[in-house]
Structure 1
Amino acid sequence: MNVRSAPPTKKAPRAPGLPSLTGLRFLAAMAVFLYHVTNPQLTPFGGESARLAGRLFGVAGGLGVAFFFILSGFILAWSARPHDAPRRFLRRRLVKLYPNHLVTFVLALVVFAGATGWETWLPNILLVQTWSWDPAVSFGVNGPSWSLGCELFFYACFPLLYRWIRRIDPKHLWAWACGFAAAVMALPAFAYAALAGGPPMPGLPVNAVQSWFVYQLPPVRMLEFVLGMLLARIVLTDRWIGVRIHHALALCAVGYAAALNVPFLYTLSATWAIPVGLLIPAVAVADVRGHRSPFRGRVMTWLGEVSFAFYLLQASVLTGGAVHLADRRPFGWAAALGLCLLAWALTLALAHALYLLVERPAMKRWSRPRSAGRHDTRTAPAAEDATFRVGAG
């Protein structure tokens, strides 16, 4: 499969669009939603139902975040243009992140009644909160936005990383990818051995420093981002090994089962490096070759387009609901399930509004400087749309 078979010209060739990865993003956002909705502080379930739901979906958050980080590296390398100016690239990515972040930041302050001080909200609004190991800071205000702090660091490093990865001999790309996957899988063992004895992390069987190091520290999570970049180069240089979507999904199921039975830190990223690392390129190859995909339909594409907003809104919706219903919890399983579906529908409706009223207009208005020509090959709309539609949020 030669993805870029056109003869060389002065214009950089455009990578094919990947609509299935757009749809798959929503399933990753749903994994994070399921994790939050079964959190003991937020769940409407009680008794054995709460225990079972927490056991079943307690590892889903790690899966969703790992998917987003690997996908981010994959799609940015996939749609990158060699001569794109770093400042223009960073402008586009900041326009992607900040409008939704600022709106959901304000919403979270309203939900929490402004209870946090400046030492919490200032790092959050600047997206530097994830550099702090203190969970009150790193998860402060709108908790899910910590991952945007990691993404901001990835974007700042991307131009240099991309230049390096493009220089790797294609026959060595798989060796590098395996090395980065192995590093991700080895991190929990290092954290257990070297970071023991720190302050406890509330509600988790590890200390706060261990959790932060494996789950939130940007240079550590950048290993997955670089893995995604390497996998994109593997596909673009016709080095894919032929894994199909159903193979990768089966491996993800095996990985999920394994995550339910390994020590906690391994569920945050290590368990997902290989399954997700194979799923994303397999889905991309299916789109390029026109193979059947369950993630490519109109509904899935729409869900994927609003998934960034959905991801940022879910914590505020669930927290607001938990506060409002605090005196009535826990509920029976039927009522609790109904409340979860209501929270999902409300989050989805708000996400659609945020996408239409904030995210899409901001990208159209500010993603390119006014002076950029209509046919500027460095910022061609097709390339930008590919990044915006399937890049991690």
Structure 2
Amino acid sequence: MADAAIVTGGGDRRLPSLTGLRFIAAFAVFGFHVSVADLFTEDGGVPGVLDVVFRQGATGVSFFFILSGFVLCWSARPGDTMRRFWRRRAAKVYPNHLATALFALAVVVVAGTAVSAGSVVANLLLLQAWVPVESVYYGLNTPSWSLSVEAFFYLCFPLILRVVDRLPRPWLWPLTGAVLAAVCLMPAVALGLPEDLRYWFIYVSPPVRMLEFVVGILLARIVRDGLWIRLTVVPAALLAVAAYFGSGFLPLGFAYVAGTVIPLALLIPAVAVSDLRGTSTFLRRRTMIWLGEVSFAFYLVHQLAIRLVERALGAQTWSHPAGMLVAFAMLALSLVGAWALYQIVEKPAMRWFSGSRTRPVQTPAPSTITP
């Protein structure tokens, strides 16, 4: 049953819990990259626990794609223009990307690692996700492949928003279900491709990942129009956690995205509605908000931090206690690097290039970004 009270009630119109939740998703990706770094000398014990906990950590990217569509639709400004929207997105994303890409390139040069000029250019231009070659889309700073996908989202967002804003209310849930079904069918579609292209198609290809972004936009419209079902945070979170762990047992292609997309799609609006009602959650605490604010920088620097610690300590494996200390060193360096990138690059870039200081996310009036 829909709940219109969230629109007319007196709850907080900002969505701080979604900010806190962003860090949990970023930390899952960090944990995944640590778990595959082969830090430990033995199987079982700590390595086994890390594998169980973070085996599906890469699904955090799916959370980011859905969240991106949700937040952009939620915060769309009446009378905004495409040019202003694209300028704000570029100010948010590109300076951090450029800083980390150049740092990664410097590390590659110092280490004497081979990298092609084409890969460097594609990465700097955020075009790497369009090239179905692992050394390109995962080249330089590995996590930045998702920014290449997001750049495609941003390019298309004004048109998608215009269409979604004009959809009749009765169409919203059926269309959301249809797009989610399409996401779940992509691994089956990929079976018709050469084997070496299947992973790229399912997990990296911008048009395929666009489906999750569209789901986020549709869900924001559903919440905005008071059509959200009576699903609260706790059951939505339990469903997401169960899917996170359970998806690891699915056939490989379905484990990447399809196994978790529906629970994640339900979790984001459930948390947003909780904020609108003014419900207190640990995600709204100051520490979680701060971690959420630096989560984008954390996401971009964490792989570099892992590599730097590995290089500083030498390519070796460790006993369980020593390996955990190494992992904590990677986390600490990632957090320090994220704070520095956020303070030195991200915040100034948002002020200098977006034309205004970042504002709290507000409940928008129905709006279309105009040419």
Same-fold status (TM-score > 0.5): yes
Residues 42-72 of structure 1 deviation map (CA, whole Å, 9 limit, x = unaligned): 23123204455335422111x2100000000
Residues 189-219 of structure 1 deviation map (CA, whole Å, 9 limit, x = unaligned): 221x2024x3xxxxxxxx3x11100011101
Give the corresponding residue for 2:181. 182
Residues 69-119 of structure 1 deviation map (CA, whole Å, 9 limit, x = unaligned): 000000000011242101100000000011101111111112223632211
Query: Does structure 2 retain, via aligned residues, the 8 Å contact 1:2–1:236?
Result: no
**Displacement of 1:361:** 1.0
Return 261-270 or 30-39, whichever deviates more.
261-270
**Structure 1: distance between partners of 2:159 and 2:97:** 26
**Displacement of 1:5:** 4.5
Query: Does structure 2 retain, via aligned residues, the 8 Å contact 1:38–1:57?
Result: yes
**Structure 1: distance between partners of 2:124 and 2:225:** 39
* TM norm structure 2: 0.91
Return 45-54 or 133-142, whichever deviates more.
45-54
**Structure 1: distance between partners of 2:217 and 2:305:** 33
Tell me the SS of whatever aligns to 1:194.
Answer: coil
Q: How does 1:149-164 map to 2 (within 5 A)?
A: 149-164=148-163
1:45 counterpart = 2:44:
no
**Structure 2: distance between partners of 1:29 and 1:89:** 25
Give the corresponding residue for 1:332. 319
Query: Does structure 1 retain, via aligned residues, the 8 Å contact 2:14–2:362?
Result: no
Give the corresponding residue for 1:204. none
Q: Which residue, out of 363, 368, 375, partners 2:355? A: 368
Aligned partner letter, 1:80: A
RCO (CA 8 Å, sep 6+): is it higher in 1 or 2?
2
1:98 counterpart = 2:94:
yes
Tell me the SS of whatever aligns to 1:290.
Answer: coil
**Displacement of 1:257:** 2.6
Give the corresponding residue for 2:70. 74
Query: Does structure 2 retain, via aligned residues, the 8 Å contact 1:313–1:347?
Result: yes
**Displacement of 1:322:** 2.0
Residues 277-313 of structure 1 deviation map (CA, whole Å, 9 limit, x = unaligned): 0110000000000112120000000000000000000
1:343 counterpart = 2:340:
no
Aligned partner letter, 1:179: A
Give the corresponding residue for 2:107. 111
Give the corresponding residue for 1:304. 292
**Displacement of 1:323:** 2.6
Query: Does structure 1 retain, via aligned residues, the 8 Å contact 2:180–2:212?
Result: yes
Tell me the SS of whatever aligns to 2:246.
Answer: helix
Q: Which residue, out of 42, 58, 76, partners 2:55? A: 58
**Structure 2: distance between partners of 1:133 and 1:53:** 30
Aligned partner letter, 1:104: T
Q: Which residue, out of 293, 307, 311, partners 1:323? A: 311
Q: In the superposition, relative to structure 1, how do residues 299 and 383 fare at CA in structure 2: closer, same or farther (>3 Å)?
A: closer
**Displacement of 1:2:** 4.7
**Structure 1: distance between partners of 2:168 and 2:78:** 16
Q: How does 1:135-174 map to 2 (within 5 A)?
A: 135-174=134-173
Residues 352-387 of structure 1 deviation map (CA, whole Å, 9 limit, x = unaligned): 111111101110111028xxxxxxxxx99445999x
Aligned partner letter, 2:104: A
* TM norm structure 1: 0.86
**Displacement of 1:268:** 1.4
Aligned partner letter, 2:28: A
Provide the aligned length of Structure 1 versus Structure 2: 354
1:352 counterpart = 2:339:
yes
Structure 2: tracts of 5 or more residues without a match: 365-371
Give the corresponding residue for 1:314. 302
Q: Which residue, out of 273, 285, 289, partners 2:273? A: 285
Identity of aligned residues (%): 43
